[in-house]
Amino acid sequence: MTLLRLEDLSVTFPVARRGAWPWEAPDLLRAVTDVSLEVAAGETLGLVGESGSGKSTLARAVIGTIPASSGRVLWEGQDLAALSAGRRRRHRAEVQMVFQDPLAALNPRMTVGRAIAEPLQTHEPDASRDERRRRVGEVMEKVGLSPKLMDRYPHEFSGGQCQRVGIARALVLNPRLIVADEPVSALDVSVQAQVVNLMKRLVKDMGISLIFIAHDLSVVRNVSDRIAVMYLGRLMEVGPARPLIAAPAHPYTRALVEAVPVPDPARGAVRAAGLVEGDIPSPLSPPSGCVFRTRCPRARPDCADAPPALRPVRETEAACIHPIAEAAHA
């Protein structure tokens, strides 16, 4: 069953031009452009791309904290923009978020128990204090924290423990979808694996859908059923995790795969030689046609004609008119 569907979703922000008169029209920053995606019940979708690709903006459009400029966000077939106030409130309880910086996401003046219980106070105000404390203890145990720690403050915890608190806070309402925005990028590598494994277990045990956002494919591939690759606000490739990583069809996906470190120095040097160069262009003035063409080692003149749509290439869908998989079999 499809839980979440995005239909041609675009998010733009007005940006005043330097030196422009107040009455002049601002420029438009295209953070997300014509993204169509689906997330099934119980599925984990990995969303990857460089910083500035529009991943976090897409996440905030999904949870409803920023409006779509065009297109639709459908929750169980219902347009979020058309929901009644009561249904929108229920939707906010069904979709929760885990943030990048675990310590900054917690109020330093609140004990972790109060921080975890805060969503219960908002969405279930009739619950007694004892009931809230019981549920906080249960969810702390689920994430590997002792309920005896609920009266401590965030500064008394490590980064990994604070992220477990953030996950517990997201789980306390028994949501149906969690959006995790770079949840392990601020953690040590050894702790990253623990948090990723924890999220994998919780998603499986509780039947929750998960959108896992990261810029590192080596992290995403271990948790995702499907992966969507974004670049400059557009989808480059979407498909099942294993074939997308094993045989990427889009040059950008291939660059991300080759950027994953390998233990063999000789092999790593060969892979590094094929990486794309330069910086991601400004979303205020994206390239015409394929937005990746200015950094693509396979770019041709016709890549500037029009933005390519996603189309099937072997086991994935790629927005490329000269995909790698087809060229390899030509």
Are 210 and 282 found together in one domain? Answer: no
Are 220 and 261 found together in one domain? Answer: no
In a domain, 238, yes or no: no
Are 78 and 37 found together in one domain? Answer: yes
Rounded to whole angstroms, the Cα distance separating 281 from 128 reads: 53
In a domain, 164, yes or no: yes
Helix ranges (H only) for the chain are: 55-63, 85-94, 112-123, 129-142, 159-171, 189-206, 217-220, 241-246, 251-258, 265-273, 324-328
CA distances from 140 to 115, 148, 238, 277 (A): 12, 9, 34, 44
Q: Using one digit for the tens of pLDDT, what is the confidence trace for 24-45?
A: 888 899 999 999 999 999 999 9
Which pTM does this prediction carry?
0.91
Average pLDDT over residues 126-152: 96
Q: Which two tokens stand for residue 149?
A: 């720690």
Are 134 and 94 found together in one domain? Answer: yes
Are 107 and 141 found together in one domain? Answer: yes
Are 142 and 182 found together in one domain? Answer: yes
Number of domains observed in the structure of the chain: 2
Rounded to 5 degrees, what angle do the CA atoms 91, 97, 99 make? 160
Are 85 and 152 found together in one domain? Answer: yes
> What is the domain extent for residue 212?
2-14+27-224
Are 260 and 330 found together in one domain? Answer: yes
Q: Using one digit for the tens of pLDDT, what is the confidence trace for 72-95?
A: 999 999 998 888 888 888 888 999
In a domain, 118, yes or no: yes
CATH number of the CATH domain containing 139: 3.40.50.300
- Determine contact, residues 181/97, Cβ cutoff 8 Å: yes
Rounded to whole angstroms, the Cα distance separating 144 from 264 reads: 35
pLDDT of the residue at 18: 80
